[in-house]
Structure 1
Amino acid sequence: MTTATPLAASPVTADTLAAFSDAFNRHDANALMGFMTEDCVFDAAAGPEVYGTRFVGRAAVRAAFEAVFKSFPDAHWGHGRHYVAGERGVSEWVFTGTHTEGWRMQAEGCDLFEFRDGLIAVKRAFRKERPKLPA
């Protein structure tokens, strides 16, 4: 008798990262979390530590993403370019958004990813530091 072997998870591709970016632009936290492992890690671009601010686990990562959407109701990551090499990937983008305090941001940035079992396990965000622009 043979035992069925579960199918391996589909590998993450540049199209996967493009779909992940599209979910960010829709501000769709449910869709975003569907791309990520249960024990995912998100290192935000800003924060007191060398890695920025770290969020661990789906609940914390989701809350961090939702906080961005709340602070920047028109947040958009445009001009996306996405690359995958094995279990790592990169997304390049230009972030634009108007903060609820009334100032605007426009800056180039990128995300560095680590994948596991066809999902995003780690997302590290990097963004140019620029002065706040008038809205």
Structure 2
Amino acid sequence: MAQIQTPVRQVTADTLAAFSDAFNRHDAEALMTFMTDDCVFDAAGGPEVFGTRFVGKAATRAAFEAVFKTFPDAHWGNGRHYVIGERGVSEWLFTGTHAEGWRIEAEGCDLFEFRDGLIAVKRAFRKERPKQNV
């Protein structure tokens, strides 16, 4: 008897666009459906060479939710998404007003690593700009 093999999910540019859409909806629950249980998120800022690292879905979700709280109008626009094999890139323009009242507009990108059709690693990079008063 022949074994039926389940097709392997592939991450595509459309997958990354949908992931970005979930960010713009501030939908942490939806974001986690794109990520492996042992995912790693390296935030753009932090004391380490890699920024600040969050490991696992619970820590990553909390980090994403903190961004949404800190920047209630956070938006990642002008998205361009690329996938080559098990790696991908999303380019975007981040805009938002910090809870303290200052505004940011800066280009950035995410570098991704995929496993089993999900995001295993997300590394965020963003231009550093002086705070803009609103």
TM over 0.5: yes
TM-score class, shorter: over 0.9
CA–CA distance in structure 2, aligned partners of residues 75 and 55 of structure 1 = 20
Residues in 1 aligned to 2:66 and 2:48: alpha-carbon distance in whole angstroms: 19
Instruction: Figure out how many residues of one structure are paired with residues of the other and give that number.
Output: 134
Structure 1: runs of 5+ lacking an equivalent: none
Task: Indicate whether 1:4 and 2:31 are aligned.
Answer: no
Identity of aligned residues (%): 81
1:14 pairs with 2:3: no
Listed one character per residue, the Cα deviations across residues 48-105 of structure 1 (whole Å, up to 9, x for unaligned) are: 0000000000000000000000000000000000000000000000000000001001
Does the 8 Å CA contact 1:44/1:126 hold for their aligned counterparts?
yes
**Map of 1:66 onto structure 2:** 65
Deviation at 1:10, TM superposition (A): 1.6
Residue of structure 2 equivalent to 1:29: 28
Deviations 1:20-51 (A, max 9, x none): 00000000001000000000000000000000
| CA positional deviation for 1:2 | 3.4
For normalisation by structure 1, the TM-score amounts to: 0.97
Question: Does the 8 Å CA contact 1:8/1:117 hold for their aligned counterparts?
Answer: no
**Which residue of the partner structure matches residue 134 of structure 1?**
133
Alignment-derived partner of residue 125 in structure 1: 124
CA positional deviation for 1:9: 2.6
| TM-score, normalised with respect to structure 2 | 0.98
Gaps in structure 2 of 5+ consecutive residues: none
Show the counterpart of 2:48.
Answer: 49
**1:41 aligns to what SS in structure 2?**
strand
Query: Does the 8 Å CA contact 1:114/1:123 hold for their aligned counterparts?
Result: yes
Task: Tell me, yes or no, if structure 1 residue 86 matches structure 2 residue 85.
Answer: yes
